[in-house]
Amino acid sequence: MKNSRSSPFLPWGQWLWVSLPSETLTEEDCRWLREIRPAGVVLFSENGRDADRVRHLISEIREVLSPNDVWIAIDQEGGRVERLKKGVPLLQPMRHLGATGDPVPVFDAAFHLGKKLRQIGVDVDFAPVLDVDSNPANPVIGDRAFSNDAWKVQKLGMAFANGLTAAGIVPCGKHFPGHGDTVLDSHFDLPTVDAPETVLVGREWLPFEHAVFQGIPLIMTAHVRYPAIDPRWPATMSSRILKGILRKRFGFSGVLLSDDLSMAGVGAHFPLPMIVERSLRATCDGLLVLKNRERATETLEIIRRLANGDPPFWERQLKRSLDRLGRLRTIISQERIHVDG
C-alpha cells in the first residue's frame, strides 16, 4: 500500500521565493519567514532604494533564516527595471548599453554593479534579459532587451552574466523561452507567441540555448503561451517546454525559477493548485510568489497537500531541486573565494 503521508520534516518551503512589504522586519514578518522557511527573498523598491539602508534589511533577514539558508535576489537590470536608485551603479537600458555590439563595456558594467550588490549581501540579480526585441509593439520588453538580433542578444547577454558572476553574483537569464514577440504584458494578461517552431529555434530560443551551453546557472520562465510547442499551457506550466526543450534538448541542469505566480499571465487564467502542481512537475526548482503573503502561504499548503498525496514522487522532486540549489551554492561560493583571492 502506498504511504499517503509525506515527511513533516522536509523543507517544502524551499520551493518558495517570497517578498516583504517594507524596509524593516516586523515581528509578524519574522514569524512568517520562520514558519515557511523560503529558499529566497526577493527585494523590491518598497524594501528601500538606498543600498546602504537595504544592507541592514538583508542582515536582518539572514539573522532570521541563517546566512546559508536563504538567497537574496533583486531585479537590478538597468534602465526602467532598477529597484535600487542610490549606492549602486545606475545602468542604461540594455538596448543602449549594448548598442555598439561590444561585449567589453557590458561585462564591465555588470561587474561593477555586481560588486556593489555583493557588498550589501545580495546573492542573485534577475538579469540578463535574454529576450529578443522582435516585436516593436511589445509593451514589457522593448529596451530591456539588448537587441532585435538573436546573436547579438546571446553575445551581450552572456557578457552581462559573466560580469555578474565575476563579481560573485548569480545571474539569471530570463524569460525562457522568450517574451520578445508579444503584444501583451504577462503582468496583466497571458500573451501568445504564434511563431512556428522554425522561427522560435533561430530567434527566441537561440540566446537561451547558447547561455545553457556556456553554463548559465539560473533561468526564469515566461508566462507566455507558444502554440507551436504546447497549444494549452504557458511555458511556466508546460513540461513540453521546460522539461522537453530546456532540460532535455538544451541540457540545462541548473536552477529553474518560475516568474511571479501572482502575475495575471497565469494567476488570472488558472487556479493556483493547478499552477503550482504543473510548474513543479515541469521541473521548476523555485516558485516566485511575490507581494502577496496570503498567496505564498496558500502555495506552501498546496505543496504540502500534493506531497501527502504521493510522498515518493514529491520527495524525489524536492531532493532534485535541493541538489540543484546546493550545487549553485557551491559554484557561487567557489567564485567568491576566487574573487576575494
The stretch 56-82 carries a mean pLDDT of: 93
The stretch 318-324 carries a mean pLDDT of: 97
Give residue 1's pLDDT. Answer: 39
Give residue 333's pLDDT. Answer: 81
Contact 154, 202 (CB under 8 A): no
Give residue 341's pLDDT. Answer: 62
Q: What percent of the chain has pLDDT over 90?
A: 87
- pLDDT digits 0-9 by tens, 224-238: 999 999 999 999 999
Give residue 332's pLDDT. Answer: 82
Predicted model pTM: 0.95
7/11 Cα distance (integer angstroms): 9
DSSP character at residue 142: G
The stretch 81-92 carries a mean pLDDT of: 97
Contact 275, 266 (CB under 8 A): yes
Active site members: 187, 259
222 Cβ contact list (under 8 Å, min separation 6): 174, 175, 176, 177, 178, 179, 186, 234, 235, 236, 259
User: Does the structure show a pLDDT above 60 at 2?
Assistant: no
Over the chain, what is the mean pLDDT? 94
CA 309 from centroid of its chain's CA atoms = 28
Q: Is 281 exposed, middle or buried (0-12, 13-18, 19+ CB in 10 A)?
A: middle
Give residue 331's pLDDT. Answer: 83
User: Does the structure show a pLDDT above 90 at 336?
Assistant: no
Torsion angle of the four alpha carbons 115, 29, 261, 243, in this order, in degrees rounded to the nearest 10: 60
The angle, 0 to 180 degrees and rounded to 10, between the axes of the packed helices 27-36 and 293-309 is: 20
Terminal Cα-to-Cα distance of the chain (whole angstroms)? 55
Domains and CATH numbers, the chain: 12-340 (3.20.20.300)
